[in-house]
Structure 1
Amino acid sequence: MSLNKNTVLVYISFLICALALSQEQETVQKDSMAMQNLSEVVVTGESQVMSLSKKLFKVGVLNQQDIAKVAGNNLADILNYNLNITVTPSPSTGRSTINMFGLDGQYVKVLIDGIPMASDNGMGNNIDITQINLEDVERIEIVEGSMGVLYGDNAVAGVINIVTKRGLEQDDSWQVQLSVQEETVGKEYSLFDEGRHIQNLKATHQINDKVSYAIGASRNDFAGFFNGYKGKNYVKIEDNRVVNDSLRGQEWNPKEQLTVFGNLNLNLGKHNVFYKIQYYDESVNVYNHNVIGRLDNNGKPNPTALDEIFDTDRLLNNLNVSGPINGQTIYNLSFSYQNQKRYYQQYVYNILQQGIESYIANDLSQSSKIWYSKGFVSNIVPKSDFFNLQLGYEFTHQTGFDAIATGEYSTDVVENTLENYDFFGVADFNLSDKFSVFPGARYTNNSQFGNKLIWSLSSTYNITNTFKIKAVLGSAFRAPNFEELFFYFVDANHNVQGNPNLNPEDGISVFLDLENKYQIGDSGIFRAGIKSFYFDIQDKIANVQTDDGENGTLFTFDNVDYSKILGFSLENSINLNNWQASLGATYMGESTRIDASENSNSDYLWSFNLQSSIGYTIPSWDTTLSAQLKYTGRTQVVLETDEDSLVVGQTDDFTWLDASVRKGVTKNFDITLGARNIFDIVTVNSTSVPTGAHGTTAASSRLFGNGRSFYLKLLYNLNFN
């Protein structure tokens, strides 16, 4: 185990907090800082209608105060502080995905108000979390562990639900929020061409106690990260010729995001109707590092570059209706239509003239149309103290295609369809006042791979009112996504295709969670928890290469390997008077086997992760000081060697530290000033693991950050009638 020297600050910060807590403080209103040790709430997104599920899983919540402290604009800004979640960015594509308990974004389901979010190639999984804007969010709910029975295939590592804010709680009928945020990207900043520039506007109208609506928009302009590169208009010319030094462009490609939304909330007696519409547009510019040296008719250099633009459009329509059927028996119905398109442009850019010379491609490269519905009835046997039941259905119909090249062999790209028809049920057996058991099962019928059964067995034992044990045993079931089944990228030099004959992954997921709460004085609370987890995933889907039948190489997907993960976590948090602090640690081992590679290694790679946060509130100044530190240990990664084969390697450890100050200047005006990535992390080394006398070691690096950055956010909040 390698431990960066900066992680000693974890212990220092916790020691400072412990010493401070020993002092006597006045009782004041709390502003919770323990984001990683999340407080327990009812299960994801259905808190008011899912009476069984609050016993099934421990659910954490990040509220608006947690988001505001770190000036979070999108989901990537806030999730990285969680102990068992790592946000993995891709500088070339601009995407950031989740790694949870060592499992990537394919195993984590992301929902908006309980409805899976459409991604480039799937439904709810492998989501680019930088595309999820937080300006309209009431809270973020996180459930750890296998949730396949309630939320379908691919909810193996956990579920993250984004809950939209509905209406106004105060007596005012109008609320208008306006904010601007300016950030450096490393040392780079200018008003338009460098840094990160964010603007938000939201208006909410509470017409009466039954009807409210909200409209808003958010713009996030990330100008990229140069990091030694010299921009799109750079070219080196010596002795009347172009010198291709590969310094053109940027390290992280720039992107601009626009989100526009509207919400309508109706309370019709005991029934609630909520409708959400959202439009999202993202443009990512890719500037080629290589310059094409040309001469014009006069023999002078006329350099060009082959650049690209990826533009994503998404339209979301979600409708939820809930209420009582008879007495305490509750129904919940959700309907959704989502339409996502990705446009691809490839063009010749004239560097000296600073304009587009011609287009090579200008096409719709990906399209998805998704119809979705979910419904369930809970608390079916409300009068029984021993037995209860929840039954439901889920339906998904996805049509679309994915083709990122339009070469000679790509004209036969056709639209494909993927459908799911699911029925699920969860029973509740209260064997005693302290011990309950919850068996559950889901029958899923998929148009591509047929019928499957997903199962789970959960239990809760309340040793005391504050000391609880929760256990979850279930299927580690993941179905192939749209990309793995139908991806198509074929031209004169490439042959990359999905495999419609893939089998779903399956296996076992086990979670055990113990938590106790201690009262400190009149107002303080100390939470101590320990959890263990184990995943055994068989028939894991991986990239493979094979013969295409025409003396060429086909890159595709197949069920060829397995993955095993074993880990233990300690999580502690304390809230006392003006102080808040948390300290958590995870020790986790990963074992991955790639049968298609001669350099496979199935040994466990053990890593140690730490998380710490500390906060102090000064009521008389209306000011909150906070800091978050996270140490991420070594992790396994699949690397591609120079021979285009795959090996199991590892990414080195690194430490991340953020800090901020939030100040209320007036009743309506707040300022947040902070720093991200104080330890200035940019790249982290990745190496393959030697496998004996004939093994080799490859070395590379992965980009994780864009340097030490500073931000300033100004928020104006106006309430009136």
Structure 2
Amino acid sequence: MSLNKNTNLLFLTLIFSVMGLAQESKKQEKDSLSMQQLDEVILTGESKVMSLSKKLFSVGTIDQKDIAKVAGNNLADILNYNLNITVTPDASTGRSTISMFGLDGQYVKILIDGIPMASDNGIGNNIDITQINLEDVERIEIVEGSMGVLYGDNAVAGVINIVTKRGLDNNHKWQLQLSVQEETVGSEYALFDEGRHIQNVKLSHQLSDKTSIAIGGSRNDNAGFFNGYKGKNYVNIQDNAVVNDSLRGMEWNPKEQLTAYGNLNTSIGKHNIFYKIQYYDESVPVYNHFVNGRLDSNTGMPNPTALDENFDTERVMNNLNITGPLKGSTVYNLSLSHQTQKRYYKQYVYNILQQGIESVNSDDLSQSSEIWYSKGFVSNIVPGTDFFNLQLGYEFNHQTGFDAIATGEYSSDVVENTLENYDFFGVLDFNITDRFSIFPGARFTNNSQFGNKLIWSLSSTYDFSNSFKVKAVFGSAFRAPNFEELFFYFVDSNHNVQGNPDLDPEDGLSVFLNVEEKFRLSDSSMLKTALKSFYFHIDGKIASIISTDDQDRNLFTFDNVDRSQILGFSLENSLMMNRWQASLGVTYMGESTTIDASEGISSDFLWSFNLQSALSYSIPSIKTALSAQLKYTGRSQVVLSGTDGSVVGQTDDFTWMDASARTNITKDLSITLGARNIFDIVRVNASDTPTGAHGSGGAPSRLFGNGRSYYLKLLYNLNFN
């Protein structure tokens, strides 16, 4: 496959892309492309148990059909279509994180079957969403609003729950699923050395009506984005001398990801047991743009080398969910998890002409964590009355490990640390009338670093009618410092970067209001409108600062010095009509960050406008679905590292557009063709807004995409007995 052979694909995709100038945001039907707001959706692993999730919060889902339409392989491929979620990639590390309602990934909790996922520096937050493979996913549930009482610290903006598929949905006992996906990276593609190459395999077996098992694996080989750079084996030699033109390496580093998993789902009486084991490995090489132009002492000829790096991450996850009734309608939910994550760092001298490693300077374990986690709760404790009910639960988390780069004479100070949480929570349910309910809740948390804290919330719902409903959530915006902020250590003769074990949690207020109404236009058409308002005020925000250590050296560390406010309004509309689905959503949001709050230096609100639209059309006669999505992201406020500390800056607006066509060639074989980033976004201008607190600095642009890309995916499903 080459770009020249993609002419038909390009022509077809551009036709579909014209449709995308219509509308997108959140939809209601399963065939819709974006978010589905479903009244009866609740968090997974908690089916028929966690009814408070659907009562209190605005909950949407992305199901298998939505994922298939855009050939989504990882979470980053699909979350970008959500109106109030922004995916931010980092070309230097290969990580992609999200922000939700203007709050970054530290304020969004990501779960797998209701259990927080291990990350580089904590559990559940600031997850690299490119590491979450979607081939084994039944649906993605997105819950909007502060959920600290139910899901603990850092669930300030919302929760994203990844739901694993359980069992077969047909009468067959066996299913073999194979898929191959080839994708360009911008205009770059070659069978092995350029582009994105994805393979997936999954084998499922229905042992009985109550028991099923599945095993599978995935490989995602992203060869990186050159964008004018010349790769790892490039060197410019002129007149027997190396010329450093900074063209070696890549704009976006390559990444290879391997995922293997196994699932067991069984029922014993009325009790359900689900076990998931997953292994993940990721390798990210970093090619230095600078070339050492040394001469060979024997020949006098150039013998250029470069100091390159490699980051390898390994993660093993064991999750167990058990649910069932205790007595009558009183039900329990128990989750147990053991997760380990290790990141290996290798620094080596690469000989460019010989195309091999000449020597290794460092080959160390730079980050390690082991997590023991358990959560249990009982719902519907008082089933005998319609007026009052109660849910009680606990959550336990024990994390040991370190996050450090141990080099130089000071490396002996790197030690393993432990972080523990013991939480107890409860939510009361007062049904004042058939239409009006209030839900006060509280969580008591005991943390080994900062002691006892209280997280609280007060929620209310009012149903004006079966189609017109209002939900409000008022609570604390509580975020605990992560493992890196507490314990990171990188000290040698040239560096002095350390975490601060004396950090306090961030806290403040969060308010979320959701008003929605559904209009039945005809027997085959429906319009849904939702108006949302949100406000976050966060005090004692953790930020990077420059201080001095006990030896009077500059110390780069963290402290509770900043303050942040976010105010926003969203209007979302989705329309389903016969074979058409359309949606249109807009958000107007203001952000204000105060650097060094103690000094009284403040930043005005930066207001931005965001828009998302989608349009899809199904053609049953040829079993084909056409779809397109358009998202406009307005300017946003960011905190950047300046020469003397943090500064407030902003990133300019940009527009992203995708389009695709998916068709079933046979009952077992489907093909998906599409284009991502049709407007060819690579870099977005980013400029500082000096506050006077620390000076100014920062990059003139940020890398958001790798240009217009095209993909083709073949999926084969074989069902047999």
- Report TM bin, short chain: over 0.9
Report the equivalent of 1:524.
Answer: 525
Report the equivalent of 2:462.
Answer: 461
Q: In 1, distance between residues paired with 2:441 and 2:598?
A: 38
Q: Is the 8 A contact 1:600 1:648 kept in 2?
A: no
The aligned amino acid for 1:528 is T
Report the equivalent of 2:274.
Answer: 274
Q: Is the 8 A contact 1:98 1:105 kept in 2?
A: yes
Report the equivalent of 2:235.
Answer: 235
Report the equivalent of 1:479.
Answer: 480
Q: In 2, distance between residues paired with 1:128 and 1:692?
A: 33
Q: In 2, distance between residues paired with 1:324 and 1:590?
A: 45
Could you report, residue by residue, the CA deviation over 1:121-163 in whole angstroms, capped at 9, with x for unpaired residues? 1000000000000000000000011000000000001000000
Q: In 2, distance between residues paired with 1:326 and 1:596?
A: 52
Q: Is the 8 A contact 2:596 2:693 kept in 1?
A: no
Q: Secondary structure at the match of 2:37?
A: coil
* Aligned residue runs from structure 1 range 135-534, under 5 A: 135-296=135-296, 297-534=298-535
Q: In 2, distance between residues paired with 1:551 and 1:61?
A: 53
Q: 1:17 to 1:529 in 2, by over 3 A?
A: closer
Q: In 2, distance between residues paired with 1:83 and 1:661?
A: 22
Q: In 2, distance between residues paired with 1:183 and 1:572?
A: 32
Could you report, residue by residue, the CA deviation over 1:228-254 in whole angstroms, capped at 9, with x for unpaired residues? 100000000111111111110000000
* Worse overlay, 216-225 or 409-418: 409-418
Q: In 2, distance between residues paired with 1:303 and 1:601?
A: 50
Q: Secondary structure at the match of 1:501?
A: coil
Q: 1:16 to 1:231 in 2, by over 3 A?
A: closer
Could you report, residue by residue, the CA deviation over 1:385-418 in whole angstroms, capped at 9, with x for unpaired residues? 1000000000000000011242221122100000
Q: Secondary structure at the match of 2:631?
A: strand
Q: Is the 8 A contact 1:536 1:565 kept in 2?
A: yes
Q: Is the 8 A contact 1:61 1:140 kept in 2?
A: yes
Q: Is the 8 A contact 1:597 1:645 kept in 2?
A: no
Report the equivalent of 1:6.
Answer: none
Q: 1:378 to 1:698 in 2, by over 3 A?
A: closer
Query: Are 1:542 and 2:543 counterparts?
Result: yes
Q: Secondary structure at the match of 1:32?
A: coil
Q: In 1, distance between residues paired with 2:628 and 2:592?
A: 33
Query: Are 1:35 and 2:27 counterparts?
Result: no
Q: 1:584 to 1:84 in 2, by over 3 A?
A: same
Q: In 1, distance between residues paired with 2:40 and 2:478?
A: 26
Q: In 1, distance between residues paired with 2:659 and 2:160?
A: 25
The aligned amino acid for 1:457 is L
Q: In 2, distance between residues paired with 1:38 and 1:491?
A: 52
Measured after TM superposition, the shift of residue 600 of structure 1 is: 5.0
* Aligned residue runs from structure 1 range 20-99, under 5 A: 31-45=30-44, 46-99=46-99
Q: Is the 8 A contact 1:139 1:163 kept in 2?
A: yes
Could you report, residue by residue, the CA deviation over 1:244-285 in whole angstroms, capped at 9, with x for unpaired residues? 111100000001000000000011110000000000000000
Q: Is the 8 A contact 1:52 1:378 kept in 2?
A: no
Could you report, residue by residue, the CA deviation over 1:285-320 in whole angstroms, capped at 9, with x for unpaired residues? 000000011111211100000001100000000001
Q: Is the 8 A contact 1:429 1:436 kept in 2?
A: yes
Report the equivalent of 1:101.
Answer: 101
Report the equivalent of 1:3.
Answer: none
Q: Is the 8 A contact 1:14 1:581 kept in 2?
A: no
Question: What is the TM-score when the length of structure 2 is the normalising length?
Answer: 0.95
Q: 1:443 to 1:680 in 2, by over 3 A?
A: same
Q: 1:481 to 1:166 in 2, by over 3 A?
A: same
Q: Is the 8 A contact 2:647 2:697 kept in 1?
A: no
Q: Is the 8 A contact 1:72 1:134 kept in 2?
A: yes
Report the equivalent of 2:12.
Answer: none
Q: Is the 8 A contact 1:31 1:617 kept in 2?
A: no
Q: In 2, distance between residues paired with 1:199 and 1:483?
A: 34
Report the equivalent of 2:655.
Answer: 655
Q: Is the 8 A contact 2:639 2:649 kept in 1?
A: yes
Q: In 2, distance between residues paired with 1:12 and 1:518?
A: 28
Q: In 1, distance between residues paired with 2:39 and 2:615?
A: 20
Q: In 1, distance between residues paired with 2:218 and 2:693?
A: 56
Q: Which runs of 5+ in 1 are unaligned?
A: 1-8, 19-28
* Aligned residue runs from structure 1 range 621-632, under 5 A: 621-632=622-633
The aligned amino acid for 2:606 is L
Q: 1:440 to 1:16 in 2, by over 3 A?
A: closer
Could you report, residue by residue, the CA deviation over 1:398-442 in whole angstroms, capped at 9, with x for unpaired residues? 000011242221122100000000000001000001000001000
Q: In 2, distance between residues paired with 1:406 and 1:424?
A: 43
* Aligned residue runs from structure 1 range 634-673, under 5 A: 634-641=635-642, 643-673=643-673
C-alpha RMSD of matched pairs (Å): 2.0
Query: Are 1:707 and 2:707 counterparts?
Result: yes
Q: In 1, distance between residues paired with 2:528 and 2:20?
A: 15
Measured after TM superposition, the shift of residue 694 of structure 1 is: 12
Q: Is the 8 A contact 2:108 2:125 kept in 1?
A: yes
The aligned amino acid for 1:207 is L
Q: In 1, distance between residues paired with 2:159 and 2:691?
A: 36
Q: Is the 8 A contact 1:41 1:60 kept in 2?
A: no
Q: Is the 8 A contact 2:23 2:612 kept in 1?
A: no
Q: In 2, distance between residues paired with 1:17 and 1:88?
A: 23
Q: Is the 8 A contact 1:542 1:559 kept in 2?
A: yes
Q: In 1, distance between residues paired with 2:635 and 2:584?
A: 20
Report the equivalent of 1:557.
Answer: 558
Measured after TM superposition, the shift of residue 521 of structure 1 is: 1.0
The aligned amino acid for 1:288 is N
Q: Secondary structure at the match of 1:52?
A: helix
Measured after TM superposition, the shift of residue 598 of structure 1 is: 8.6
Measured after TM superposition, the shift of residue 49 of structure 1 is: 1.4
Measured after TM superposition, the shift of residue 690 of structure 1 is: 4.5
Q: In 1, distance between residues paired with 2:48 and 2:279?
A: 28
Q: 1:609 to 1:85 in 2, by over 3 A?
A: same
The aligned amino acid for 1:241 is A
Q: Secondary structure at the match of 2:700?
A: strand
Q: Secondary structure at the match of 2:413?
A: coil
Q: 1:402 to 1:691 in 2, by over 3 A?
A: closer
Q: Is the 8 A contact 2:440 2:457 kept in 1?
A: yes
Q: Secondary structure at the match of 1:33?
A: coil
What is the percent sequence identity of the aligned residues? 75
Q: Is the 8 A contact 2:58 2:145 kept in 1?
A: no
Q: Is the 8 A contact 2:16 2:628 kept in 1?
A: no
Q: 1:533 to 1:12 in 2, by over 3 A?
A: farther
Q: Is the 8 A contact 2:17 2:658 kept in 1?
A: no
The aligned amino acid for 1:359 is V
Measured after TM superposition, the shift of residue 14 of structure 1 is: 8.2
Report the equivalent of 1:24.
Answer: none
Q: Is the 8 A contact 2:313 2:343 kept in 1?
A: yes
